């Protein structure tokens, strides 16, 4: 009898070892992860300083300003320069104001030969670009035409540089 009980216990233990202790269920689902990247641009400009101007010089006085553009990758943009704050100025011919409200005319262009005006009409005289995600550099070419009858003193203007994206 004891031998039979021992056999029963042995088979019971064997049977318990062969059966999984607990069944568990696994349910899997998915989680959406997303983000929207917005277009964005940062624009900086260095001053355009002509230095000294002689009304008797036969040639134009020239200088440059550098623009640094940083736009999100593939963001299309236009860079526009307004007419400035000078009296009777336009984007074709800007003016700096000096002593006694006297003015001196100057031009801003997109190229060193001054053949492409830089203004603020999109599709006409703005600079078009596309963001690269890294800094891009542009040059504004400034020119004061020669032989202007102007008074001595310091002249200045403020031109707004806009980036439209």
Q: What is the pLDDT of residue 23?
A: 72
Query: Phi then psi for 137, rounded to 5 degrees?
Result: -120, 135
Pair 83, 135: CB distance under 8 Å:
no
**Per the structure, how many domains does the chain have?**
1
Q: Which residues of the chain have pLDDT under 50?
A: 14-15
pLDDT, tens digit, 9 for 90 and up, residues 16-32: 555 555 678 999 999 99
Please give the helix or strand (H or E) that residue 7 lies within, else none. helix 2-18
pLDDT reported for residue 74: 97
- Which pLDDT score, from 0 to 100, does residue 9 have? 58
Residue 15, in any domain of the structure: no
Asked, for residue 84, whether it belongs to a domain, the answer is yes
> Is position 132 within any domain?
no
């Amino acid at each position: 009898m004891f031998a039979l009980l021992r056999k029963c216990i042995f088979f019971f233990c064997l049977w318990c070892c062969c059966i999984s202790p607990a069944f568990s269920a696994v349910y899997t689902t998915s989680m959406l992860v997303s983000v929207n990247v917005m277009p964005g641009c940062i624009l900086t400009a260095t001053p355009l300083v002509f230095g000294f101007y002689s009304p008797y010089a036969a040639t134009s006085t020239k200088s440059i300003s550098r623009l640094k553009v940083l736009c999100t990758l593939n963001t299309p943009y236009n860079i526009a320069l307004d007419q400035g704050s000078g009296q009777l100025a336009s984007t074709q011919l800007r003016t700096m104001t000096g002593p006694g409200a006297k003015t001196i005319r100057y031009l801003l262009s997109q190229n060193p030969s001054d053949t492409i005006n830089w203004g603020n009409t999109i599709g006409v005289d703005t600079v078009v670009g596309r963001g690269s995600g890294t800094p891009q550099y542009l040059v504004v070419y400034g020119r004061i035409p020669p032989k202007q009858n102007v008074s001595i003193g310091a002249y200045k203007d403020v031109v707004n540089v806009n980036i439209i994206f």
